Structure 1
């Protein structure tokens, strides 16, 4: 059984789907691991490290592979070169890349999207969204600190006192909590807000102050927030405005996978910030939490510099790759069984909700129903079954008394 590790080809992608220190876990399961030369180059991992860990460096790593792992989806020409029945594991934004899903379907490839893994406790070790959000949250705080032209911590010196910077974080998911923790460790005064009631305690546990707007909470499924009405969104923006105006740095992290990010901060709100202030919008790539932010660019709105995040985990490829690779190993382990002789078999059990939930295409079909409806439309009703003639009634017979005593007897129904 062979696992191939792809060299990422998309511009700006620096991560790799497997790191040398975890290759041994795959070979220990009984797999051969083939790595495309240069796969780890941008993550500062040399080919020799993979070879020393037991992997084979091979330009034709995909040939004969049962499983191909990557960070980004494979390009169309690479998908067409895979043997039918090959399985892939990667991020796969089905709403943004329906053409890739069609290529996978037509090639007969079984594709798993890591962002579709159910958010249940048993799947936490495979949750790539959370592992990469951890990296993103840290990076956001570092970007804010680097762009801000003042100290973050309080400094008391013989020449005078320099007050700590004030940082506001919107969104207290994995990324937001990591941004809070990092800014707090750097010495800033941190305030944070999230629409979910449970988030307030988590914010305080990071040492920050939870902003209470006295609005109804919006708890949703899977740990995400429910979508809010426009009226509530407007009231929320009005109440947040004074906190944002007082901040030296604003970090926004609110995002829902596969959907446009909610717009939390208007241009007018940013224009009220102080000269030299900084805004970091982690969600810029999916529409942005801040009106006017641009993914991959720094723009000026009023007195503030607004940094739009683009593939933020890839900006720290070393830790991001290690965490993602561990997610992949855990998912592969779930897909692995052993035969009677102890040999590893790549045999995913699609009765498992983790595997069925993350599977997008299989056997030439799109099996993820929302994606199938988006691409192929609603399922067409089948032909009406032909009417069957009614069976001839059987002649009535009476059972002997002894047989009647042996019939099932529902005491609860009788009572």
Structure 2
């Protein structure tokens, strides 16, 4: 028997990505997988059903997709869909358990084993599976373009017969994957870029991309796993004072700060926006977590005085083709850790190798990414979601 893999059509509003693209489908087929892809799953990513070729079965029946041994998705399926999964089946997707306790409850009732892509440990061996990073790269690139498009000004310096136009100043707050990509993109577009991160060890990376690194004296907050820890009240005030001074001269501000499993940290106050120059823009990548700016509204552009505050909540979906390609490969790389080659003479004759699901629970990546195991909470994220804690 070959392992069956189901790929549902994403139903979250505004979601354009798909969990498996034709190139990855072909790789999984060569492993002997039986792929069941829901009809129209790739349409929002501009992938028609026929592009998957003969490697998959396109089905309109949800029972075929959710009845598979493994279900691959971008967002967690609705509880009613998870209820259709069989006990012991595996779900791999982003979950964000703290925002989706009913989804975790549904996994518990159905006896589903879930691996949450946001829990992939940030270790060297897991880099090829790190979907947070791959999707953050897409978000950082796109948010710089959003800022450029929204500004009533050029980004680069231009020397024209009508005079010289000075380059726009862009301030990027947060130098994680998204922030670094935003810095690189804004710099390539010709802006003068400044960047700030509470983790002072990012200074070298920022400067290597052509930006000037800003420092809030006495504030450093390196945390575990490459993330920043939460700041004390005194540190927050020092940070805000420094940023307020630099925001007064910025044409565009891009915020990318986040704390895993918690609401986005509030960095930009209303008073700080008051100090921004007329016609400037603020692009808040923390919008889906409540925003880094207290004026941000998810999926809206707020005009405050003469400043535009843009709060896109799913930026990678604006780059559906490449974001899907990267995410699908992340999934395939993680899934490969769970497969073991099985004996099947007929498969060998067809040029494929049959694989069985064999999860090594002692593997550091597997252990770090598991959310539930046979329905039982296997991580703090799942336990907190079921108990109502944040």
Instruction: Report the TM-score, using the length of structure 1 for normalisation.
Output: 0.88
Q: 1:247/1:93 Cα in 2 relative to 1: closer, same or farther (>3 Å)?
A: same
1:274 to 269, 274, 277: 277
Residue matched to 1:305: 308
8 Å Cα contact 2:21/2:324 also seen in 1:
yes
Provide Cα deviations, 1:358-412, integer angstroms capped at 9, x if missing partner: 111222311113422552489xxxxxxxxxxxxxxxxxxxxxxxxxxxxxxxxxx
Superposition deviation, residue 182 in structure 1: 0.4
Distance in 1, Cα, partners of 2:256 & 2:26: 35
Residue matched to 2:347: none
Residue matched to 2:51: 49
Distance in 1, Cα, partners of 2:67 & 2:155: 54
2:268 to 265, 277, 282: 265
Matched, 1:11 2:13: yes
For residues 8-407 of structure 1, the aligned pairs below 5 Å read 8-52=10-54, 54-60=55-61, 61-62=64-65, 64-340=67-343, 343-376=354-387
Distance in 2, Cα, partners of 1:257 & 1:291: 19
RMSD, aligned α-carbons: 1.5
8 Å Cα contact 2:39/2:58 also seen in 1:
yes
Superposition deviation, residue 346 in structure 1: 1.1
SS of the residue 2:68 aligns to: coil
Q: 1:376/1:250 Cα in 2 relative to 1: closer, same or farther (>3 Å)?
A: closer
Superposition deviation, residue 214 in structure 1: 2.4
Structure 2: which 5+ residue stretches go unaligned? 345-352
Q: 1:369/1:157 Cα in 2 relative to 1: closer, same or farther (>3 Å)?
A: closer
Distance in 2, Cα, partners of 1:185 & 1:377: 45
Provide Cα deviations, 1:91-133, integer angstroms capped at 9, x if missing partner: 0011111111010110011111100111111111000100000
8 Å Cα contact 1:2/1:65 also seen in 2:
yes
Provide Cα deviations, 1:72-93, integer angstroms capped at 9, x if missing partner: 1011111111111111100001
Distance in 1, Cα, partners of 2:109 & 2:364: 24
Instruction: Report the TM-score, using the length of structure 2 for normalisation.
Output: 0.94
8 Å Cα contact 2:167/2:192 also seen in 1:
yes
8 Å Cα contact 2:372/2:382 also seen in 1:
no
Distance in 1, Cα, partners of 2:384 & 2:229: 23
Distance in 1, Cα, partners of 2:289 & 2:332: 28
Provide Cα deviations, 1:17-59, integer angstroms capped at 9, x if missing partner: 010011111112221111111000000001010125x111112
8 Å Cα contact 2:98/2:384 also seen in 1:
no
Report which structure shows greater RCO (CA 8 Å, sep ≥6).
Answer: 2
8 Å Cα contact 1:267/1:301 also seen in 2:
no
Work out the number of aligned pairs and report it: 377
Structure 1: which 5+ residue stretches go unaligned? 379-415
Distance in 2, Cα, partners of 1:8 & 1:216: 41
